[in-house]
Amino acid sequence: MKATKIKMRDGRLISYNPLDIDGIYLDGAFYKVEDIYDRLKKIENEKSEEKIYLADSNKYLIPVIALNGKRYVRSYPNTEFVDGLLKLPRE
């Protein structure tokens, strides 16, 4: 699967915080970030090799828990100041 576009939460269109992402388009279909997090955790638990890649990149998504307990995803490897996920086109 490939992440092709992101949708930001209301009022956060220009944010560069991955916690402000509301959903991600995977192969043309929209999914809420929390649902993608759950799917990635299931893949981890099953020790599957399946990954969700960023479009035109070798980076893939990983599940993360924020300090406040919020579930979100970010790209890996993340060697840049701005997460690669936030560089995808926005809706």
Rounded Cα gap, residues 85 and 55, in angstroms? 9
Give the phi and the psi of residue 6 in degrees, each rounded to 5.
-120, 155
Q: Which distant-in-sequence residues (6+ apart) come within 8 Å of 6 by Cβ?
A: 21, 23, 24, 25, 85, 86, 88, 89, 90, 91
Q: What is the pTM of this model?
A: 0.91
pLDDT in tens, 48-69: 899 999 998 899 999 999 999 9
> pLDDT band for position 26 (50/70/90)?
very high
